[in-house]
Structure 1
Amino acid sequence: MIVSKQVTFPNSFLTESPIRTHLIMADADAHPVWRGVVLVLFWILTIKSHSKLPPGPLALPIVGNLPFINKYAPYKSVQEFSKTHGPVMTIYLGRTRAVFLVGYDAVKEAIVDRGEDFSGRAPIHFFNKATKGYGLAISNGERWKQIRRFTLTTLRDFGMGRKTMEAWIQEESQHLIARIESFKGNPFDPFVFNQTVSNVICCLVFGERFVYEDKQLLRIVQFFSEFIQFNSTVFGQLYNIFPWLLDHLPGRHHDMFAKVEEMKKFNMKKIEEHMKTLDSSSPRDFIDCFLLRMNQEKDDPNSEFHIDNLWTTVLNLFAAGTETTSSTIRFTLTVFMKYPEIQKRMQEEIDSVIGRERSPNMEDRKSLPFTDAVIHEVQRFLDLVPMGVPRYALKDITFRGYTIPKGTYIFAMLTSVLKEDKHWATPLMFNPQHFLDHNSNFKKNQFFMPFAAGKRACVGESLARMELFIFLVTLLQHFTFSCSEGGDSIDLTPEFSSFGNMPRRYDVVATPQ
């Protein structure tokens, strides 16, 4: 049988039929009539069982559509497939059936308008094995609802999106300025921003910050960067698709899980310290609040407030709250180094509104339209999680006339929203005008969706927005950023791209203003 990329068969052809093994293993010299009968039976069975699946390209046995997907930028292949098969389509990642939603209309209809149906989180093997399904990030059902509700409430109580958190970020920004000044104009590794952002999470979770020289903090923050990077490499993709094979073979994934255990020990040590000093009348941070809730529900056998969910949720908060925001800050500095005229215009606007002495606050944002537009455009253009964090059909879902069976992975393609031709003037170019009107006032854009949307939107969105604005404005008050090789040496394309678009890292030169 000749397989062609251009031929379109019903989804799951050659992947799920009960007679696929006989078809694949059939003797090449078998009688043509029998081969024809097998093909007809195969066709009938497939149409009968999966006729309502969204359309999609031909899938091969075992490997599915993987041979036809760009391993370095899989989201690009998905968007190419959608030109033929439409905005809702089925693609097989190995033996895993996945439905991809492409374009603003399909994505919004699913994750916002049908948010409850599409609120399931996929059991990505790496994260599932690391957390055993506990915590906030990949849990589902009652566990997810309880932990999410508690996390949002607690973070808000400790100032997320409010003046209290603003003050913490302002204070941390001064530590950052002092750290950069210590380099005395010499090139430095922008990984320092990971430590800065991590310290904000430390204040929320542990009730303390760490000095930049703290080796343990540096090691933990480095782990998070490695985890995201690992899951954005080709091997990381293959590991999550073929874990049943790669779990038994040597590879970097074993080192990653060893580091997860080390982070678990770090979190458990902090939790034990909190247990010894817990004051029920005065909770200091997220861990204290969780421990108090554990005590309240200790006799409830159905309670989700126990140690496994605590240490894993702390891990989730660090992973989601550190690498994403710090990557965005690093990428913003890369943009400054490539386009110094943008940096200069932002500095002029900041000087005219705030000056260089006062710390910025969130109220200043409405008076800094160009600065705000650049920060939004950085997030749009960086497109940090191009395919979104995978969702999961917890039951059969009927969507746009198709049936998405229970157990199907679902990808809401955020990149197809952030860079959709019909909604952005120059989607593939860095252009702050996307967020400015004809009078140079900031304008909101409903197609700006870097934090996803709906019930599974990022819980730390308001914190991330505050960090980006205050840290970046503070940096521009004190420094002008450049690189030794000049702006022409800067490449804004990702170094790794799959689960996340990981920006390239360049050493930075910070010249005092």
Structure 2
Amino acid sequence: MGAEALLLLCLLFALLLVSLKMYKKKAQLPPGPTPWFLLGNLLQKDVLPLSKNYAKLFEKWGPIFTVWMGPKPMVVLCGYEVVKDALLDHAEEFSGRPVLPFSDAVNRYKGQAFDLRKYTRIAISNVICSVVFGSRFEYKDQVLQEMLRIIEDFVSYLVSYMGQIYNVFPKIMPYLPGQHKKIFGDFEKMYAFINEKVESHRETLDYQDPRDYIDCFLMKSEKEQTDPEAIYTIEELIISVQELFIAGSLSTSEVLACALLVMARLPHIQEKVQQEIDDVVGANRIAGMEDRVRMPYTNAVLHEVHRYQKGSLESIPRQTTRPIKFQGYLIPQGTTVCPEIATVHFDPLHWENPEEFDPGHFLDEKGQFRNRVAFMPFSAGKRACPGEALARMELFLFFSALLQNFTFQLIGDAKDKDIFTLYEDSGLKTGDLPLKFIRRSI
């Protein structure tokens, strides 16, 4: 037998082995759409993305089903009761986070009409900068703008089909050309910039007067120097700063952009928000956090914006930390699990008008703000977003200030689009939002 024939035979045997393992797992997991060999459901447009297809998948397979990201299964959880049962009632078992090879690969590259979106991203990022670096950047600072572009490119790729394919075939993709190569190079620059900031902080560290997150991390790191299993390392510090920017800058600014699109699309709601701001805050100052309790309608609108977004980075998968008997299924340890948050926010058992944008979902009969148990925009349980409080604060303050001073209107063909389409067309893309704004005379 020739070498070529032997190589082909080995390849076929390997493919057969992968196929057998794949279909053996399939028999043990919750039912779901039939996967293709090796590719799973990746290229099946009636399955992925989940944010568009979960309704018909739920109707066919029920609140727990399995989709395949290539040869790897992912159990999807739908509806408030099931997601709550997993993330809160079984928080420990569902507290793991699966390895995302593209994110890991990026982290290994460490030095071996008026663009409203742009300015809101810079403004919100400057809040993160104050917490992390102890200082802010000028709006035209090229370093900050470059960091935001790198983060935007990374997130856009991570949620794209190519990003999913990278995570399925991480050993092959590094040898192929593509956008991931540029992102690796960009993250080398970002790593070097953050490392420079860390070194500067280390040289000027005052243990009696910590200035920011980096100082606090360095102080903790010094205390653990003799621990062989220490987790407070310089590499971990740099990676955590990167992740703070990714999670805190882009996602918060996108929610703010969506809120302004909704105001322009629903002017009667915009008018009620502005009236409440005028009544409570007036024209001589901007709203503070102490005003939020006296602005229930504005608070309810922001909550409804969160609820109404069907796509969310908070649907990033979990992983089971041990085998668990869950809702009648035995889910093995190490299984990727995706709690589809949109199914919680559109669960008809918990929302009066789930398909409508209705701030009344968060108002009681007296018009006062009310929390809802089926509201999880920052996820829940042990992997809930640690920056939730900061994000809520930022959104309220920025949104109130913008609506206090401007009225927003849609332009072009955006005037004829529904809210879901506006979200989809504007999400995570560069360039102007389809908005014009008119200064208010108060």
Partner of 1:150: none
Residue correspondence of structure 1 range 74-223 to structure 2 within 5 A: 74-132=50-108, 187-223=114-150
Which region of structure 1 is more displaced relative to structure 2, 440-449 or 271-280?
A: 440-449
The one-letter code matched in structure 1 to 2:195 is M
Give every structure 1 segment of 4 or more consecutive aligned residues whose post-TM-superposition deviation is greater than 4 Å: 49-52, 494-497, 500-505
Name the CA shift for 1:484/1:100 in 2 (closer, same or farther; >3 Å). closer
In 2, distance between residues paired with 1:52 and 1:72? 22
Tell me, yes or no, if structure 1 residue 61 matches structure 2 residue 56: no
Tell me, yes or no, if structure 1 residue 21 matches structure 2 residue 12: no
The one-letter code matched in structure 1 to 2:315 is G
The one-letter code matched in structure 2 to 1:126 is F
Aligned Cα root-mean-square deviation (Å)? 2.9
Partner of 2:4: none
- Mapped contact 2:109–2:185 kept (Cα < 8 A): no
TM-fit CA distance, 1:321: 0.5
The one-letter code matched in structure 1 to 2:34 is L
TM-fit CA distance, 1:426: 2.6
TM-fit CA distance, 1:502: 4.2
Partner of 1:329: 256
Name the CA shift for 1:238/1:50 in 2 (closer, same or farther; >3 Å). closer
Name the CA shift for 1:124/1:269 in 2 (closer, same or farther; >3 Å). same
TM-fit CA distance, 1:117: 0.6
Q: Give the gaps of 5 or more residues in structure 2.
A: 1-12
Name the CA shift for 1:343/1:419 in 2 (closer, same or farther; >3 Å). same
Partner of 1:141: none
Which region of structure 1 is more displaced relative to structure 2, 199-208 or 228-237?
A: 228-237
Partner of 2:174: 247
In 2, distance between residues paired with 1:347 and 1:376? 17
Tell me, yes or no, if structure 1 residue 232 matches structure 2 residue 159: yes
In 1, distance between residues paired with 2:108 and 2:91? 25
Query: What do residues 202-251 of structure 1 show as CA deviations (whole Å, max 9, x unaligned)?
Result: 00000001110111111111211222122222222222223333322111
The one-letter code matched in structure 2 to 1:475 is L
- Mapped contact 1:93–1:241 kept (Cα < 8 A): yes
TM-score by length of 2: 0.88
Name the CA shift for 1:209/1:22 in 2 (closer, same or farther; >3 Å). closer
Secondary structure at the residue paired with 1:424?
A: coil
TM-fit CA distance, 1:68: 3.3
Secondary structure at the residue paired with 1:356?
A: coil
Tell me, yes or no, if structure 1 residue 449 matches structure 2 residue 425: no
TM-fit CA distance, 1:293: 1.1
Name the CA shift for 1:76/1:386 in 2 (closer, same or farther; >3 Å). farther
Return the match for 2:227 from 297, 300, 318.
300
The one-letter code matched in structure 2 to 1:214 is D
TM-fit CA distance, 1:361: 1.8
TM-score by length of 1: 0.76
Name the CA shift for 1:275/1:386 in 2 (closer, same or farther; >3 Å). closer
Q: Identity rate of aligned residues, in percent?
A: 36
In 2, distance between residues paired with 1:428 and 1:445? 16
Partner of 1:29: none
Name the CA shift for 1:187/1:308 in 2 (closer, same or farther; >3 Å). closer
Tell me, yes or no, if structure 1 residue 349 matches structure 2 residue 276: yes
Which region of structure 1 is more displaced relative to structure 2, 53-62 or 307-316?
A: 53-62
Name the CA shift for 1:492/1:72 in 2 (closer, same or farther; >3 Å). farther
Name the CA shift for 1:427/1:110 in 2 (closer, same or farther; >3 Å). same
Partner of 2:403: 476
TM-fit CA distance, 1:87: 1.4
Query: What do residues 8-47 of structure 1 show as CA deviations (whole Å, max 9, x unaligned)?
Result: xxxxxxxxxx9983999xxxxxxxxxxxxxxxxx8xx977
Q: Give the gaps of 5 or more residues in structure 1.
A: 1-17, 25-41, 135-185
Partner of 1:146: none
In 1, distance between residues paired with 2:354 and 2:252? 22
Partner of 2:290: 363
TM-fit CA distance, 1:432: 1.4
TM-fit CA distance, 1:76: 3.1
TM-fit CA distance, 1:421: 2.4
Which region of structure 1 is more displaced relative to structure 2, 449-458 or 391-400?
A: 391-400
